[in-house]
Structure 1
């Protein structure tokens, strides 16, 4: 079975995978405590095992506990999710995604705006 992306998961699977991403590495109990209105322990354990089978997570054993961690680095998963978001909601127009981000971000301080400017300048240099 090939690797499954987070976008291809069901709502509860995605919620559990996102909890593991936030925690970095987690036991079943850790995941349950991270999720509001969490399913039963055995349900979470089963779903974590399914996410390992789908190659979304990896598992290691520490004593009697099983610990789960992301199979894909957080940055890679984040970029993939954002590409999907831009494609789905912004007709593959990153400028529209940026405009919406600026619109919903509230007040950005000068440091945030300077950092964005630096990124834009770096992108300009790379595109030449």
Structure 2
């Protein structure tokens, strides 16, 4: 899914965000969760496209289709983040982290401690 996930349109990404937040959703639940939602038939068409791309699957609940992601959010978010790092930061983890840190006015002591712990673990590998 990692390559497929990086090829999602803005609307497809919005739909995936809604489904990840809910865990699963019907087309009407997706449409009601969208800002400036397209027509119901457009939402259904987008859900079908997402199934064809392999990012969603569905189960039947009576007459309704309930849509679920094909990968856990953690795996999908890692793939998306890797794509962002490759696209915007020339594949450099250092440049990506620097952009995140430089863009914040304040980093809490807890966040700094967590970052230091992650760096220490990386050094020990």
TM-score by length of 1: 0.88
Q: Could you say which residue in structure 2 is the equivalent of 1:82?
A: 81
Change (3 A) 1:106 1:37: same
Contact 1:20 1:26 (C-alpha < 8 Å) held by counterparts: yes
Change (3 A) 1:4 1:114: closer
Q: CA deviation at 1:3?
A: 8.0
> Which of structure 1's runs of 4+ aligned residues deviate more than 4 A?
none
Structure 2: runs of 5+ lacking an equivalent: none
Q: Could you say which residue in structure 2 is the equivalent of 1:50?
A: 49
Task: Please tell me the root mean square deviation across aligned C-alpha atoms, in Å.
Answer: 1.7
Q: Superposition pairs for residues 1-128 of structure 1, below 5 Å?
A: 5-126=4-125
Change (3 A) 1:16 1:79: same
Contact 2:2 2:76 (C-alpha < 8 Å) held by counterparts: no
Structure 1: runs of 5+ lacking an equivalent: none
Alignment length (residue pairs): 125
Q: CA deviation at 1:43?
A: 1.1
Change (3 A) 1:56 1:115: same
Q: CA deviation at 1:52?
A: 1.0
Contact 1:3 1:54 (C-alpha < 8 Å) held by counterparts: no
Q: Deviations over 1:19-43 (max 9, x none)?
A: 2122221111221122100111111
Contact 1:4 1:55 (C-alpha < 8 Å) held by counterparts: no
Contact 2:2 2:79 (C-alpha < 8 Å) held by counterparts: no
